[in-house]
Structure 1
């Protein structure tokens, strides 16, 4: 099923992947992300958010769309996520969703109904977990955050036994506040006999960007300490894996150092195969190019129509881009450049 979905994405022309940031509402108070501050500072912005009916319209009008990545804020806090997932057109073959894990029962019920209703659609859920209990809770700013993530993972893991189209993993973000904690987390799992290993994780690197409501809206790259941590974590992952998430994560980590230290430019499909849509319908080339290409409402909710009308601007943005190597874009690159993926596998060894 995974191979078939990959083939379908690879051979589709136009915008294939849409990153939907569906809301800026968040119930956590993370050190490394200030999205939760947005509506405390500007509560009137909440009324401007697109409804899930409007996100559904984008999915329907953009006929080339095959992969939807859902993030926020915390997506489960926005009313209508359950109905949105089962109303998506058959052309959507893959849905990936990031959650902080704060609502275990709710996200499990949502994914179960979606998997039952759409058995030919793949669902990938990433649950935030950034270290052992005290580290994760401190990073997320909420007591009990660790236990919430653990409960969410276990409940979703049970679904994977029943539904072959459901996949779940933890997402660990390397930040200045949890250096050295990944191995500590694995030791905690081993000590408590928790049924997870490095292969159950995907890894992200801490960077600043306007999207995260950081003071440095221009964005900054991972520090050398974070990159060294990434290279050390690579060795925790199995060298050979049939799990695409594990394979892509290992390659992502291996190539991150090459990109940021040697400044070797990697291929990018932002604005060509993928775009970013913020909660207000403003379409960006990617998460770090915060200049909106336009509002989707002005283009009859058709991403291809918007992108086609902004080809010159996208070209200018590409030419001025200093580059990045983040999961939201790098995984797309690895999917559409098989030879580059193979090269990355070799380098990750």
Structure 2
């Protein structure tokens, strides 16, 4: 389970970031890093076009294990929250070795891997191998994607039988969790798009009553440079989204009555996050400052460094292969500094959850709302 010590360390680090930001100091380093280890994907989702990328036929151009090892050595122990994404990350045959390099060089507190759940045996096998090398103070979180029940999920994901295979993988991972109850968390992640927005509450009830994951994440479908879908019509109408999310928020408030500690705090964050998404989508502007490119970043499968996956190549900070795989050299470059200034200026807005959570933590007004949600539920219980 996520350790309470994680909260204190993150809080301490974020206070340092905030102080440096206020003083205009440039030497901040990322706290959260998403590493896309492959662009290949065995799904054909309606909300994403990664599977159409012609570069998928040239996997040899993706960063190698040796290159990742050099990158993670240069990063050191500044990052405490890693996400290994894709594509489908479990298609990468050396995913365990990549995770091992992260653990050895960065010693993160949290390692997250999202998956479509199609490759049950491989996913369970590789997850167990990672758990076997995981330090006691690190938590592995595997999030399975589920966008509908039965054929609806298969239709959105573009693969017949996907729903059944995803449930098989979830069940096998849940069984594995019995062996690693302290270091392994199993979650479900749903993308709310125009294709499923009217059925999300039914899906939520199914997940809550039949799967009972450690966490349930519900994010709005986004147009991202990374997903090659910037011109696609995938985002649900805001009225429909709000109609769906408000009952989900009510469920979260109810669950806060029973969940305390870090689990309850994360749910309090999600409550506030949903409010921000609705407001930003309605007003089409940024509501709180964005620290992407300062406190969080992403590395593409080919070594490009972005402040976030929404902007991707629109705000490219450089390529690690051009700086001898030295992350710090790229991170503190003149180009990266310009990109940070561009992002912080506020010309863009988005509903991306990971970035929002970091931004909220660095924004006093937002944190007051999060703490209010948490304490309000605790007091209500009394």
Q: TM-score, normalised by structure 2?
A: 0.81
Q: Which residue in 2 is equivalent to 1:250?
A: 271
Give structure 1 stretches of 5+ with no counterpart: none
Q: Which residue in 2 is equivalent to 1:75?
A: 89
Distance in 2 separating the partners of 1:94 and 1:338: 24
Is 1:24 aligned to 2:39, yes or no? Answer: yes
- Aligned partner (choices 61, 64, 74) of residue 51 of structure 1: 64
Greater CA drift, 153-162 or 98-107: 153-162
Q: CA deviation at 1:20?
A: 0.8
Q: CA deviation at 1:339?
A: 6.0
Judge conservation of contact 2:271–2:373 (CA < 8 Å) in 1. Answer: no
Judge conservation of contact 2:269–2:357 (CA < 8 Å) in 1. Answer: yes
Is 1:340 aligned to 2:340, yes or no? Answer: no
Q: Which residue in 1 is equivalent to 2:23?
A: none
Distance in 1 separating the partners of 2:245 and 2:140: 26
Is 1:321 aligned to 2:347, yes or no? Answer: yes
Q: 1:19 to 1:28 in 2, by over 3 A?
A: same
Q: Which residue in 1 is equivalent to 2:16?
A: none
Q: CA deviation at 1:85?
A: 1.5
Q: CA deviation at 1:264?
A: 5.3
Q: 1:233 to 1:34 in 2, by over 3 A?
A: same
Judge conservation of contact 2:194–2:236 (CA < 8 Å) in 1. Answer: no
- Secondary structure of the residue aligned to 2:41 is coil
* Aligned pairs (5 A) from 1:71-220: 71-88=85-102, 89=104, 91-118=107-134, 119-163=136-180, 164-188=182-206, 194-196=210-212, 200-216=215-231
Q: 1:267 to 1:306 in 2, by over 3 A?
A: same
Q: Which residue in 2 is equivalent to 1:306?
A: 330
Judge conservation of contact 2:40–2:56 (CA < 8 Å) in 1. Answer: no
Distance in 1 separating the partners of 2:235 and 2:211: 34
Judge conservation of contact 1:182–1:233 (CA < 8 Å) in 2. Answer: no
- Secondary structure of the residue aligned to 1:254 is helix
Judge conservation of contact 1:157–1:168 (CA < 8 Å) in 2. Answer: yes
Give structure 2 stretches of 5+ with no counterpart: 14-27, 377-382
Q: 1:33 to 1:227 in 2, by over 3 A?
A: farther
Q: 1:93 to 1:24 in 2, by over 3 A?
A: same
Deviations 1:176-224 (A, max 9, x none): 000222222245468xx62427x7310110121221111529x996631
Distance in 2 separating the partners of 1:158 and 1:303: 38
Deviations 1:22-79 (A, max 9, x none): 111011111111110103xx55553321123323322221121222111110000012
Q: Which residue in 2 is equivalent to 1:288?
A: 310
Q: Which residue in 1 is equivalent to 2:20?
A: none
Q: TM-score, normalised by structure 1?
A: 0.88
Aligned length: 343
- Aligned partner (choices 277, 298, 321) of residue 276 of structure 1: 298
Q: 1:66 to 1:305 in 2, by over 3 A?
A: farther
Judge conservation of contact 2:298–2:305 (CA < 8 Å) in 1. Answer: yes
- Secondary structure of the residue aligned to 1:236 is helix
Judge conservation of contact 1:123–1:166 (CA < 8 Å) in 2. Answer: yes
Distance in 2 separating the partners of 1:112 and 1:124: 12
- Secondary structure of the residue aligned to 1:344 is helix
